[in-house]
């Protein structure tokens, strides 16, 4: 999967420190859920460059090739996680917010087609902020994934929804 972090708008400086007026935002991307006990060694994290010029409306255009396996598309809870930070001179990185790109938003577009998505940014506590992040997502080098799995291969009981089929009525012809 190719993810391009295009830009963000309406970011808000959350610091009340008099020396941190300027935002120097960057974004991290991962397909693994956040782990409160430290980073998972198997989880690859990608990072945009710091935008020193854009302030509250940064632009990046940074492109990342994120390897995604078919299991990612089989779980409706799979997400791409984006964390927005600002780089501070003294304190290092400070989180401005985050958002998730659910697998259901990505879907199964034709290979090579680009989807442009925008997401509102949440603050660290989960409340909405006025900020928005803009992305472009393209599936590359990927076969279409079947959404249905063989029910015999699963040990779980699942609800099955049938699709009605038009019944063809047979009329007899008397001779």
- Exposure of 46 in the CB half-sphere (CA atoms within 13 A): 19
Tell me: pLDDT of 20 over 70: no
Confidence category of residue 43, pLDDT binned at 50, 70, 90? confident
Average pLDDT of the residues of the chain: 80
- Cα–Cα nearest to 100, from 45, 31, 38, 167: 31
Confidence category of residue 151, pLDDT binned at 50, 70, 90? very low
In the chain, the domains with their CATH numbers are 2-153 (2.60.40.150)
Q: pTM, whole model, 2 decimals? A: 0.73
Q: Starting from the edge strand earliest in sequence, which strands make up the sheet with 25-30, in order?
A: 46-47, 25-30, 79-88, 92-102, 114-122, 128-138, 2-9, 59-65
More confident residue, 117 or 68: 117
- Would you state the pLDDT for residue 152? 40
DSSP for 6-20, please give it: EEEES-------TT-
Of 3-17, 20-34, 123-137, 161-175, which one has max mean pLDDT? 123-137
């Amino acid at each position: 999967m190719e993810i391009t972090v295009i830009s963000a708008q309406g970011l808000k400086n959350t610091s009340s420190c008099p020396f941190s007026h300027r935002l120097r935002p960057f974004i991290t991307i991962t397909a693994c859920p956040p782990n409160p006990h430290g980073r998972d060694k198997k989880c690859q994290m990608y990072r945009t460059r710091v935008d020193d010029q854009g302030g509250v409306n940064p632009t990046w255009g940074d492109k990342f090739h994120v390897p995604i396996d078919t299991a990612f598309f089989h779980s409706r809870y799979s997400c791409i996680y984006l964390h927005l930070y600002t780089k501070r001179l003294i304190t290092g990185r400070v989180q401005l917010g985050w958002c998730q790109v659910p697998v259901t938003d990505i879907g199964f577009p034709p290979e090579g087609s680009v989807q442009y998505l925008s997401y509102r940014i949440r603050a660290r506590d989960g409340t909405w902020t006025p900020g928005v992040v803009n992305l472009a997502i393209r599936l590359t080098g990927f076969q279409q994934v079947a959404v249905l799995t063989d029910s015999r291969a699963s040990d779980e009981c699942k609800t099955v929804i049938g699709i009605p089929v038009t019944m063809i009525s047979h009329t007899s012809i008397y001779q």
